[in-house]
């Protein structure tokens, strides 16, 4: 039986994609071998690679002046690659710190450039996001880094900061679940292991003029230019991840693309928040209601013992991955693209039943 997988990443992938992958695994399209045994320079793999790139460009409506790069090292490596490529030694950039991932973007990035916190949610315990005019921005900054969804805290950036400074966004946990305002960005990145694919890389969308002019002279793999000039085939790419992502993107397109996913995500999250809000305080959302995440619904129960019992009883009913991040505790239901409304309905029923037994 398939699990209802509420994991925060890696997480659920579409069942029909997994079945198709399984069917193709030992003999990929008559080659007599699996895709992951093929040469990455073969025509068969090249068709897969270019197909994924072009589907992604279509689905995300990526303008011609942006390159699409597949880079290993996940989103974490982008914390370093962004300042390495965008920030010359004489320049400074700002980072919105609205949670654990913004904090990491600042601390890791600071090893490679002059970054400052443009806004910090520490005083409210990282339970809210700044509004459009809430960030203090120096117009001289090279860029402003934002995290559009804080996966651990369970909050989303509803409005982008109002500024002429170019934005850089980590969209790992709401990737392609909201439209991307391309004219506001120099670069958008995210690990693929939530909405898009198995783990193994980040997708980086970077303005061509930015990729072509690295701010620092570093080893080839760390330069966006290297990946851009080779269609991300400069070295051996994570072929399996790229292949599965192509299929996931095709499904996403068939189901109405980003706009439809945004709507489905809001509906799924809305159903869980409704149970929380209607539970007379049994379940409690610790975050500002105006910025509640559509992807990671974080909630508390009256005690840590009850939270442990909730997670264990849920697992007995095949509801997996509901434990909150180890750094904050509590419970968290991650509702990524491949998690269907039926799974959310099972969760909602369980939450109501569990409360009734207390
Ligand atoms: C918002 C955000 N940024 C960065 C990361 C780190 O991603 P990776 O594991 O791909 O390095 C995560 C992982 O959960 C995340 O949610």
CB distance 5 to ligand 1 below 6 Å: no
- The secondary structure element, H or E, covering residue 206 is strand 202-207
The domain boundary, picked from 205, 221, 254, lies at: 254
Whether ligand 1 lies within 6 angstroms of the CB of 172 is answered as yes
Is 223 a domain residue? yes
Which structural domain range is residue 303 located in? 257-356
Nearest CA to ligand 1 atom 1: 172
Residue nearest to atom 13 of ligand 1 (CA): 172
Residue at which a domain ends, from 204, 233, 254 = 254
Res 1 pLDDT > 90: no
What is the atom index within ligand 1 of the atom nearest the CA of 9? Answer: 14
pLDDT score at 144: 98
From CA 163, how far away is CA 237, in angstroms rounded?
Answer: 36
Which pLDDT does position 310 carry in this prediction?
98
Which protein residue's CA is at the shortest distance from atom 10 of ligand 1? 74
Per-residue tokens: 39 = 């040469």
Residues 319 and 352 reside in one and the same domain: yes
Q: Do 179 and 262 meet the contact criterion of CB atoms below 8 Å apart?
A: yes
Give the residue, out of 79, 168, 191, 332, with the most ligand 1 atoms within 8 A of its beta carbon, to mutate for a pocket test: 191
pLDDT in tens, 12-46: 999 999 999 999 999 999 999 999 999 999 999 99
In this structure, how many other beta carbons lie within 10 angstroms of the beta carbon of residue 206? 26
Provide the pLDDT confidence category of residue 85 given band limits of 50, 70 and 90.
very high
CA distances in angstroms from 163 to 105, 138, 169, listed in the order given: 20, 9, 14
> Counting atoms of ligand 1 from 1, which one is nearest the CA of 77?
11
Are residues 183 and 275 located together in one domain of the fold? no
Q: Are residues 192 and 337 in the same domain?
A: no
- Examine the pLDDT at 97 and tell me if it is beyond 90: yes
Same domain, 175 and 310: no
**Alpha carbon distance 329, 41 (integer Å):** 46
Residue 265 has pLDDT above 90, yes or no: yes
In terms of domains, do 177 and 324 share one? no
Prior bond to 10 cis, omega within 30? yes
DSSP state of 62: -
Model confidence, pTM: 0.98
Note whether 264 and 341 are same-domain residues: yes
Same domain as 307, residue 231: no
pLDDT score recorded for residue 288:
98
Q: How far is CA 18 from CA 153, 172, 244, 248, in A?
A: 30, 22, 8, 10
Asked if the structure places residue 274 within a domain, the reply is: yes
Is there a single domain that holds both residue 175 and residue 219? yes
Q: Are both 174 and 214 inside the same structural domain?
A: yes
| Residue carrying the six token digits 């965008």 | 86
Q: Tell me, what's the pLDDT at 64?
A: 98
User: Which of 221, 185, 181 has the alpha carbon at shortest distance from 201?
Assistant: 221
Q: Report the CATH number at residue 89.
A: 3.40.640.10
- Using the 3D structure, point to which of 204, 224, 254 is the last residue of a domain: 254
Q: Tell me what pLDDT residue 324 has.
A: 96
**Active site amino acids:** 101, 170, 194
Are residues 277 and 207 part of one domain?
A: no
Is residue 4 in a domain? no
- The answer to whether the CB of 102 is under 6 A from ligand 1 is no
| 76 found inside a domain | yes
- The number of distinct structural domains making up the chain is 2
Residues 311, 303: Cα–Cα separation, whole Å: 13
Distance CA 195, CA 295 (A): 10
Strand partners, 203: 70, 190
Q: Give per-residue pLDDT as tens, 123-151.
A: 999 999 999 999 999 999 999 999 999 99
Q: Where are the alpha helices (DSSP H) in 203-256?
A: 208-211, 224-228, 239-254
Q: Are residues 137 and 282 in the same domain?
A: no
Conformational region of residue 61, where left means phi above 0, alpha means psi within -120 to 50, and beta covers everything else: left
Residue 307 lies in a domain: yes
Q: Is residue 120 part of a domain?
A: yes
Q: How far lies 232's CA from each of 55, 171, 210, 253, in Å? A: 15, 20, 16, 23
138 within a domain of the structure (yes/no): yes
The answer to whether the beta carbons of residues 285 and 274 sit under 8 Å apart is no
Q: Rounded to whole angstroms, how far apart are CA atoms 265 and 270?
A: 8
CATH number of the structural domain spanning residue 303: 3.90.1150.10
Provide the token pair at 103.
């904090």
pLDDT at 190 over 90: yes
Looking at the CA of residue 8, tell me the nearest atom of ligand 1.
14
Pocket test for ligand 1, best of 10, 11, 74, 203 (most atoms within 8 A of CB): 74
Q: Give residue 296's pLDDT band: very low, low, confident or very high (50, 70, 90).
A: very high
pLDDT digits (tens, 9 = 90+) for 315-338: 999 999 999 999 999 999 999 999
8 falls within a domain:
no
The C-alpha atoms of residue 182 and residue 211 are separated, in whole angstroms, by 15
Residue with tokens 């706009």: 259
CA of 190 to the centre of ligand 1 (A): 7
Indicate if ligand 1 lies below 6 Å from the C-beta of 75: yes
Confirm or reject: Cβ of 151 under 6 Å from ligand 1: yes
The token pair that represents 174 in the structure block: 């709401």
Of the chain, the percentage scoring pLDDT greater than 90 comes to 100
Check whether 247 has a pLDDT greater than 90: yes
Claim to verify: residue 228 and residue 185 sit in the same structural domain: yes
Is the minimum distance from the CB of 198 to ligand 1 under 6 angstroms? Answer: no
Q: Which residue, by CA, sits nearest to atom 7 of ligand 1? A: 75
Closest ligand 1 atom, CA of 151? 16
Q: Which residue has the CA at smallest separation from atom 9 of ligand 1? A: 74
Structure confidence at residue 54 (pLDDT): 98
Cα-to-centroid distance, 78 and ligand 1 (Å): 10
For ligand 1, is residue 296 a contact (CB within 6 Å)?
no
Q: What is the mean pLDDT of residues 195-215?
A: 98
CB of 175 closer than 6 A to ligand 1?
no
- CB 74 near ligand 1, within 6 Å: yes
Copy the structure tokens of residue 12: 């659920």
Residues 139-189 have pLDDT tens digits of 999 999 999 999 999 999 999 999 999 999 999 999 999 999 999 999 999
């Amino acid at each position: 039986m398939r699990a209802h997988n509420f994991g925060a990443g890696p997480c659920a992938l579409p069942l029909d994609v997994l079945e198709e992958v399984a069917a193709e695994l030992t003999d990929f399209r008559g080659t007599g071998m699996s895709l992951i045994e093929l040469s990455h320079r073969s025509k068969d793999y090249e068709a897969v690679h270019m197909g994924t790139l072009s589907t992604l460009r279509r689905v995300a409506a990526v303008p011609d002046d942006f390159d699409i790069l597949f880079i290993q090292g996940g989103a974490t490596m982008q914390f370093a690659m962004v300042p390495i490529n965008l920030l010359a030694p004489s320049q400074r950039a700002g980072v919105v710190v609205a949670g654990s991932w913004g904090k990491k973007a600042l601390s890791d990035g600071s090893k490679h450039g002059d970054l400052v916190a443009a806004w910090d949610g520490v005083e409210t315990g990282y339970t809210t996001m700044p509004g459009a005019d809430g960030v203090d921005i120096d117009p001289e900054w090279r860029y402003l880094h934002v995290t559009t969804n804080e996966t651990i805290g369970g909050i989303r950036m509803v409005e982008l900061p109002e500024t002429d400074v170019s934005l850089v966004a980590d969209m790992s946990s709401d990737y392609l679940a909201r439209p991307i305002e391309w004219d506001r960005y120099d670069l958008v990145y995210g690990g693929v292991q939530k909405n898009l694919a198995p783990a193994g890389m980040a997708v980086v969308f970077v303005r061509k003029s930015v990729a072509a002019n690295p701010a620092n002279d570093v080893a080839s793999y760390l330069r966006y230019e290297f990946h851009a000039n080779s269609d991300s085939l400069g070295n051996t790419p994570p072929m399996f991840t790229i292949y599965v992502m192509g299929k996931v993107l095709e499904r996403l397109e068939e189901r109405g693309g980003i706009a439809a996913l945004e709507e489905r995500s809001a509906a799924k999250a809305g159903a869980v928040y409704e149970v929380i809000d209607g539970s007379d305080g049994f379940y409690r959302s610790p975050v500002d209601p105006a910025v509640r995440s559509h992807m990671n619904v974080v909630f508390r129960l009256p005690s840590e013992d009850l939270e442990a019992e909730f997670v264990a009883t849920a697992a007995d009913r095949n509801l997996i991955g509901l434990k909150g991040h180890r750094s904050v505790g509590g419970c968290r239901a991650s509702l990524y693209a491949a998690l269907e409304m039926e799974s959310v309905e099972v969760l909602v029923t369980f939450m109501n039943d569990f409360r009734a037994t207390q």
